[in-house]
Structure 1
């Protein structure tokens, strides 16, 4: 059996390996999976600081691999600005007394969206509404990020409602999550939960995350559009249930 000192290292390695694999397959899930598992052995704020470097590198990798960066950046910049402002406005929420309640709510929202996605029901956002809805979605996503360390809701449902194809969706997720990671790092630093010394520890978690993402990405390239959607929403359902159950326990 691992000792008390090595247990966090073992859990962190396995957490980032699994989280990277999930992210490679469906384009998201690294913060959700890693936060849920890491909080078994450490405080949420510490877990969030540990995921900064793996999240940043894997998301930059994800957004750089797609063909439409500048087009998506021009289209999504209002949402990205909202994410940054919302996250910074929520500085300190992750270590607050309501962090557990926020995690439960986030998990339930993920499950609800996944359930709708697995049915025939589809949402769509009109292009004319993106100029005002994007900043609102971004600000709400930022607040959720500051409270839980997870940046999926409501950004993921919003991006899904833009009717992007598979590769554009993956790249848009990478762009959104990169902005969220940078904003989360700034919020944690402002709240005293992320310092220069944490960068080295976070960097050590990069190797298993990248390995898992590479394996997952190789598998994703073999999937059809229909299969991808099933895995995407099925993954959201599992991740939401995991987050909610961990928060309740």
Structure 2
């Protein structure tokens, strides 16, 4: 059965009102549809506090986000805002770190394959080793670290296309990964192009997840700051207030 969903306009972006399980089913449907009709890949981007702040600062980034076929709520603040600004808010947070496991189970059950792009070589390799241990029947048909130059892009695209994955996971960090996906969308032979930011850091075991109560309360950012204060304090100190401003003053009601 085809998953149908509405959207909530948040920070000027049509954000999908879906659960993690529904988004995983949409992934399966889109990948099989592309196999049949040879349509263009779907771009699937995530929206969190950092992304909202970037949308408010950069017209180019906002334009890139609007190129996505699906934008999902990666941050709990986005979910909270949707419930305050609309009669029917988003059903749940679809954090990419959690959604990956829904996607992996769905892909494993339906014979879909992944290509893991981005992160450092060590982190990417370790993440793929852990994926293989968690999902032994999942086909990860290729991987590549994210430290390549623009001059090396042709080789990266050839590597991806020769592996023939259904889903390309792209972890190059915001906003680089969104710009990269929009620019090269029509050159990759895949069903889905899914941005995933710091996913490999969690899959490799380098970064621990926040306790469930902190995730539910929208405080996962605080846990991350406590784990890496030098790297993340100023990022969250600046982006959190700005993202709240953008969410509450530049968002429209449910569509």
How high is the TM-score relative to the length of structure 1? 0.31
Q: Which has the higher helix share?
A: 1
- Structure number with the bigger relative contact order (C-alpha 8 A, sep ≥ 6) is 1
Q: TM-score of the superposition, structure 2-length normalised? A: 0.30
Greater per-residue strand proportion: 2
